[in-house]
Amino acid sequence: MTVAPVRRATSGLQGRCRVPGDKSISHRAALLSALAPGTSVIAGFSPAGDCRTTLAALRALGMQMTVSGDLLHLKGGLDRAGEKVTREVDCGRSGTTMRLLAGILAGSEGEFLLTGHPQLLGRPMGRVAKPLREMGSDIGLLHHDLPPMRIRGAHLRGITYTPDVSSAQVKSAILLAGLSAAGPTTVVEPVATRDHTERLLAGMGSQITVSRTGRGCRVRMEPGELTPLHLTVPGDASSAAVIATAAALVPGSDVVIEGVSANPTRTGLLRVLSAMGAGVESVGHPPGHEVEPVEDIRVRHRPLRAVRIEAEDVPFLIDELPLVGLLATQATGTTEVVGAQELRVKESDRIRGLVEGLRRLGADAEELPDGFVVRGHTELTGGACDSLTDHRLAMTFSLAALIAHGPVEVSGLKFIDDSFPGFTECLGRLL
């Protein structure tokens, strides 16, 4: 255990800050650029460990690139020709890297083995393998649903597919495979998920249409070649959610987070903060962003009240739900989150890890099969929390130190760099 990198705040957080480039967009921008003949230029590329893993995987597949700070030049035109040897690709701890690469490689002629860190090898991949098999790819998993994942590429056919679980990664894998399929590919989502892949595909010349159907959507794409990408990646919405949560927790706080992705499929935590009573508003729209909407977001502390998160809300804040649990400890009333069983198969079982950690800090929290319940308002006493090597839990428990009356110790703080390098420094500038 290590003492959390922040201490109890003696006054409100004040000032302006920026967060690193969006992790989800950076992953997809690099992977799609690998498919586009020519050189793509991506500014604001995320320095997160998971995104570095994606670049390393692309290098292993023969991609040429240069990285200078947050500026990425990538020469596309992935070689889809077959080879006699199996090419092994290390996906580290990144589920996004493995799932999206599976879609890209499903239509290649070679044989590939996608593997990674033991934590990644415990995460389900059957939900990606199933539709890719229906498209014609030969995909094997070592333990039924778990990687390593062996892929023998094939000539693919377009399909219409409705995922069993709403997942932007599954949708993206299918669409990436569909670029090289015979005939159109359609993904039908009962509940719409983040749409970064669709936006990037459209910006790179793909024939793609998105039709809204209530809370869901229907995405249809024709196969075809992409054009190089020129993109400035906005600030990471999930990292901004961490700073916004800190501001909402600490009395007297007034913080502006500049240049953040305002994609409506990623702003669920901001909507929850508003529903809980925090002051949240857009205070600017930085120019120069065409593919993704971008805003400056102001967050002010106000007394919080409990909320209920339903299953249809979950896709828009799946990564931020641990933050909701922490916020709920400082809200009046009982907060309940349901329909979030996906949290049990993230980098850790986030439901169990969150509830156990909050209890150690003195909160009144309990697990549900598909979520959790937190009863507030509770004064947190401090304690030792196990992040289960999960970056989202490590950040959540670290934020608890801002309001706890005693020291907070957190295991696995180094894993915060998987998604938010500079987390401690960013918070420190506001304290």
Q: Which residues are designated catalytic? A: 319
Q: Provide the 10 A C-beta neighbour count for residue 174.
A: 27
Bridge partner residues of 385 (DSSP): 410
Burial class (CB in 10 A: 0-12, 13-18, 19+), 368: middle
Helix (H, G, I), strand (E, B) or coil at 114: strand
Nearest to 249 by CA among 317, 325, 299, 301: 301
Residue pair 296/256 in contact by the 8 Å Cβ criterion: yes
Give the type of residue at 120: L
Q: How far apart are CA 7 and CA 36, in angstroms?
A: 47
Give the type of residue at 322: P
Residue pair 163/131 in contact by the 8 Å Cβ criterion: yes
Token pair belonging to 328: 């709920």
Residue pair 374/323 in contact by the 8 Å Cβ criterion: no
Q: How far apart are CA 174 and CA 158, in angstroms?
A: 9
Helix (H, G, I), strand (E, B) or coil at 133: helix
Phi, psi of 329 (to 5 degrees): -65, -25
Q: How far apart are CA 107 and CA 183, in angstroms?
A: 13
- Tokens 């054009």 correspond to what residue? 227
Q: How far is CA 192 from CA 158, 166, 188, 308, 357, in A?
A: 21, 7, 9, 20, 31
Helix (H) or strand (E) holding 431: none
